[in-house]
Amino acid sequence: MADYYLKTDNIMKNMFTVALKDELAAQSRMGTVHPETEAMLQKVRAYELSEKRLPIISEEQRELRNALNRLRDKYLAMGRYSDGIDSVILKVMKPNTSRRFFW
């Protein structure tokens, strides 16, 4: 059962994929690849946009947050703007706990 539901669009899905790939590359350089990160990458890749909400648990939320923070640090080191990543990090940090959204 999912703890949280992230309303995800194509941009967020692509950002998650890039961030998780970078996280896996960094982990492999350090010599410790976490299977949770690999599982989260597979889950994001298998996610269909027609579902509109990505169900995640708290451990997956942590993996996404760490990967996005690493991507943000990489962008800042290159002198690029990280506004888009910042907004996605906030969405990951404060996800919905309900499958239904009230708007």
Using pLDDT thresholds of 50, 70 and 90, give the confidence band for residue 96: confident
In the chain, the percentage of residues whose pLDDT exceeds 90 is: 78
Asked if residue 35 has pLDDT above 80, the reply is yes
Tokens of 1: 């059962």
**DSSP H helical ranges for 1-103:** 10-30, 35-46, 58-78, 83-93
Which pairs count as long-range contacts for 33-41, CB under 8 Å and 24+ apart, including other chains?
Answer: 34/63, 36/60, 36/63, 37/63, 37/67, 40/64, 40/67, 41/17
